[in-house]
Structures are given as structure tokens and as C-alpha cells.
Structure 1
Amino acid sequence: MPVVNRIAEFAEEMTGWRRHLHQHPELALDCHQTAAFVVEHLRAFGVDEVHEGLARSGVVGIVHGQGPGPVTGLRADMDALPMDEATGLPYASTVPGRMHACGHDGHTTMLLGAAKYLAETRNFSGSVALIFQPAEEAIGGGRIMVDEGMMDRFGISEVYALHTDPFGPLGEFRTRPGPIMAAVDDFEIRVTGQGGHAAYPQACRDPMPCALAIGQALQTIVSRDADPLASLVVSLTQVHGGSAMNIIPGEVYMAGTVRSFDADLRDHAEARLRAIVEGQAVSYGVAAQVDYHRSYPPTVNHADQTAFAADVARGVSGQVVDDLAPEMGAEDFSYMLEARPGAFLFLGQGIGASVHHPEFDFNDAAAPFGASFFARLIETRQPRG
């Protein structure tokens, strides 16, 4: 049976929820309309406790089972991306410059579906904590919820999450023990010289040659400073300088990202980046400043919980890959996995436009698989009696 029968019965209702959320995307911590939609439905389902205002607009719903037992957390993210939608769908975003381009509308819908089923059946012991989190795409709402004491406040012992995957067949679950997504660091570099007329470079201190040299030298962090078998990405993604063809600028701005899995390699990449910038600035006789920001840590699945989650997924769809290669994307669910054991899985929605693409759309046919996975995970992990 690919999905739980009861969940299949209200699959069309789930589609309605998802498309409503898709039309009304919100950003970062300000997911107030989305949170209100979630709260309204949790209360209508008969969820025992509904807690609002975590990480500004986050929600945690508690469903009690039958008899004592642990509390397992299930997490969905709610926020959208600051980009315009190009799908042309009848339920496309109604907010210019905002779009659910990463499937968080689907994640919220899948957890709502599991909430409806679990509140109806309560065929489990202990409790389930339904975590609706803002600001996955920026700021790190997961970190804020953990820092606010969510795990201890609700007694959560394990935590699990799903993410839609437009590169996998519909209903296929993919995961792995250990690192599954990378740590992400961001950097900004400002190279400052003395601007002036481009016809008289001798009267200037041109920052452009230094910026170009920095850009080339940064690639040696991966190609010459890191173990070739280690996973490391250093990407220079922005270079801005100058305003006219006959003006030497006074400053060049550069920015980019560093992705890694290993803590020592993460430290080494930052140290080498700083040394390269400093050395090139001295060489070219200009000044340079580095702002290096450590963001999400690597998403590291716990072995026992990952094996358990994969077994549950097999019972839901029969399509499971449990040795997925690590990916260089990042996830703030990493903070929850640092706080409690658990697992992060991808759920295939069929091949289509990539996440973060203006033509992306969550496949509503995937929602019953995700909701069934969450429901079966709780019933299997915390059996009644």
C-alpha cells in the first residue's frame, strides 16, 4: 500500500491547502499568515496543544497518543523565496517578488496531513510534536527555535524532516547516515584603492587587478590546499566595481560561498581565504577587508534513526535509496540534528524544474507519500501499548 488509506481519502483536501499556501508566500521570520493557516487547521483537527510565536512566527502542535511514551518531533519549513514566479499556474503567487520555489508549501501541507490523521487515530503512545518552522531560507529559524529551548520545552527526544526532490521519481525516499548536506559559509571582500581617470593609472591605486588576482587565487583553496578526496566548494559569485569605461574605481566588492562537511577543513578554508586576500592586497599595494560569516553547520543524520526512517519509508512506497551521496546544499534542520538524534530525507516528486527556479512547483501527488511517512513513523516508533 503506497499511502495510508485515510490520508489518500483527503488527498484532494491537501492539494487545496498546498495551493492556497502557494498563492500567499511569506519570507524569513515573517510567516504570520502561513502560521495562522496552520493554527486554524491544527485546532480544527483537534490537536491537543497549539503553541505560537516560536522564532517569531513558528508553531508547534502537540498530539498526545494513548499511554506514556516519548515525544518525537516532525518538522516542516514554511517560508518562501524572494523571487518572481514564472509558472503561469492558476494558483501562482499573488505576491510580486515572492515565490514558493523550494517546496516549503508542500512540506507544510504534508505535516498538516499527518497532523490530521494522527489527531483522528491516535494509534501511538507518547506524543508527537508538529514543528512548523519559519526562515529556513535565511536567518536560520531552526537555530532560533532550538536556542529558544524548544527541545526541552516539549521534551522532544528525536526529530525528523522531509524535503521535496525534483530530481527523484515520484514517491522515492532518499537519505544516508552521516553528513547529507554541507555546512555553508558566506564571505564578502572589499578591495579599496584610489580611483581616478582611467587614462592616468599612475595617479591612481587601481583595486581591479588585485580583485582579479584574488578571484583566481581563491580557486587554489580547493585545487591546491585541500585533500583532493575531501568535499569542498569555494564559489565566487559576485564582483562589482566601476561605473564608467574611463574611470578607475576606488573600490571593488566581491562575495561568495564556501561549502564543506569537515570541521577542520572548514577552518582551513577560512584561514586560506583570509591569507590570500591579505597577501594579494599587500602585493598590489591596496587595502582589503574580509567579512566571513559562518552560517548553517553540516546536516548530519544519526545512523540508528536514519536506518529506522528508511525502513518506515520502505513500508510506505517501497522506493528507498539509503546510501545517497552527500550534497553541497545546506539546511538549517542541521541545528535540530545537533540538538537531538534524527534524520533528514528527500522525497521524490518526479523530474521537473529545480528548486529555486522560477518555474518550480511542488507536485501535489507527492504529499500523500510524505504525510503517510510521518504518520507511519510515529506509529512505528511509538507503538500503542
Structure 2
Amino acid sequence: MRQRSGLVRRGAAALAGLTVGALLAPFELLLVAFGALTLVAVRATPRARTRAERFVHRCARQLSAVEVWRLDRFHRIRDLGPYDDRAAYTYLLRRWPIGGLGALVVLLLLYGLVVAGTMVSAWLFDGSWGYIESADRVSTATIAVAAIPGALLLYINVMGLAGVVDLDAKLARRHLTPSVEEALTRRISELTVSRAEVVEVVNEERRRIERDLHDGLQQRLVALGLLLSRARRSRDPSVAGDLIRQAHEESELALADLRDVAWRVYPTALDQLGLQEVLAALTERSSIPVRLHYDLPARPPAGVETAAYFVISEALTNAVKHSRAKQIEVTLTPTTTTGAGDRPERSALGPAAGVRVTVTDDGKGGADVTGRGLTGLAGRVVANDGRLTISSPSGGPTTIQAEFPCE
């Protein structure tokens, strides 16, 4: 039953998408014709030609954006872009005939449904309601004879709808997605940027460790040395005993600071206990109440666990310092990479699965995405081939979401 209802919904969405595409086709044709006539008219004037090209390309980009929305909304084609203005104009130049073909198919379907509905109503209400003349009455034999070619024409029409949708999708992917060379160039640029961000993240980690050691552990060790030196020079046993007691307390505090620094460098418990247990300990140490929702059915790979831990740790640190929040929520859910045009679905972690980490606080919002904290967070996510999104409107809430592939 669910499969049938889902098929009906997809069919209705495809029909609505073709209808919207058919309505856009005249505007696309007008833009293409206007662009051709304008460029021919100003061909002899280079400056006017440049302005005309910019105007036509800008209009083409806006219409292409509407087409991308249509394909996303009705046909579940979500792998389009980025594309330039010239590619958008070329797409519209070849797309409007498909829109006209879609309009023809939709009109034929509607015409067939109207004819079939008229015949069936004339057959059902034959002589019963009094408003159908005897010449308009349809016999059962006529309905039976017309049903076979009608069903065949309906099947051909539905296949025509599917064919137009497929042709529309192929044309969009050909012109509104980057070529292999462009994709490789963009990937090289992303890797270059991510490498620089990784270096910056590592350097920032080193500076933070140095500050923690200098401001915390080093000061305690100096105090410990001074206490022991005073105890050794003291001739009063009670004073020496008190100094030794203070030195013992300082050594315990120094050991706690050292463990805290080591934990921030890398929590060894992550290898032994797993991400869930470590996050439970991390959230308990937060000065702001944290609700943890761990919904991963299986343990992620070690690299993903480490990246997720540090993302959550740094997000909590930023929230404690700047958000003025009263509650923080941390959620970990699985994602899976589906085919083109499908929505990501939750599933058990597998070869194509990923992990989505979401940290939300009810603070004041207005987070500076260019600040050192969030910039370092973005660099860490990109370094693990992940994707980071930040939403922090003024007044809150602030939501930080990171997705890591597990492939």
C-alpha cells in the first residue's frame, strides 16, 4: 500500500514538474529570442554588446535557478551546479523545446482523461438522469471496445511523461553541472585550501597546548618547587610538614592539569571505551547542562570518532565562552549516501554511511563565523573531508552541524 501511494505521489510530482516546466518554456524562448536579436543588433558596438551579454546572462541565470528549483522540488534532482552564466544560457537555449514537448504530452494526457471521463459518465448515467440525449448514450460494448486502445494510449502517454522527465534531467546534468576538468580543478583548489587549513589547525593546537602548559602546569610546577625548597630550608618540623602538605596538593593539581591537557590533545579513552562513553564524560564536565542523543547503531571508524569528538568538544567550548546558553543539545545520527536525486536516509552504518553531528544551544546567537574558534572548527571538518554548516541568527539558537563520510 505504501509503495502504491509513493508511486502515485511521484507520478503527481512528475506531472506537476512537467506542467511548471511547460509554463517556463515560453519565457525561456522569449529570453533566447531576445538575446539573439539584441546581440545581432549591437554586434558593431563592443561596449553595448558586453552590456547586452551581461543582461541576458543574468536573466538566464535567474531562469536557470528557477529550473534548478523545479528539478529539485518535483523530480528530486539535487546534484546540479555550480555553473556559469554562459552554461545557463546554453541550457535554456536547448531546454525550451523540451518544455514545449512536455506541454504537448501533458495536454494529450488531459485530453485523453476528459474524453474517457465523458464516455464513462455517459455510460454510467445512460437513461438514468434524463439530461443525456439518446444520441449521446454509450453502450457497454462501446466502452469495452474503447478500453483497450484507451489503456494503450494511456500507457504510451505515461511513458512519454517519463521520457520527457528523463530528457530534462539529462540536459540539466549536461549543462548545469561542471565538467570533469572543472570538477578536478575545483577539487584541487579545495584540497589546497584544506591543506592550508590543516596546517593552521595543527599550529593552533600547538599554540593552545603551549599556553595550557605555560599558564597552568608550568606555574604549578614552579610553585611545587618553591614549596619543597622552603620545606627543605625550614628548621621548624611543623612548618616543614605544612609546606610538604601544600606541595602534595600542588602535585595533585599539577597532575590533574597534565591529564586535562593530555585529554585535550587526544583522549586515550576514545580507543578503549568508544565515542559514546567519552562524550558522556565530556558533557558531564560542561558548566552548561548538555543533553546527549547518541543514535549510532554501530561504532564509527577511528578517524571519524576522533573528528566527531573534537568537533563536539570545540563546539561546547565555544558555547560555554560566548553563547550565554542555558541548555545545549548534542545529537549524533547516521546518514547514508543514496543515489542522485534521493534524500539522505538514516540507516545502519555501512560502507557508504556517514555520521552527522549536531550541536545546538539556546544562547544569544550571532556567532562570528570568521572568528578563530569556528574557523578552526571548519578547518578540522574540511581536513576530514566533511561538511560544516553553521546557523546562528541574532537571538539564537546557534546550530553547528558537521557531516563526516565513513567510506
TM-score by length of 2: 0.19
Give the helix-richer structure, 1 or 2. 2
Q: Which has the higher contact order (CA 8 A, sep 6+)?
A: 1
TM-score by length of 1: 0.19
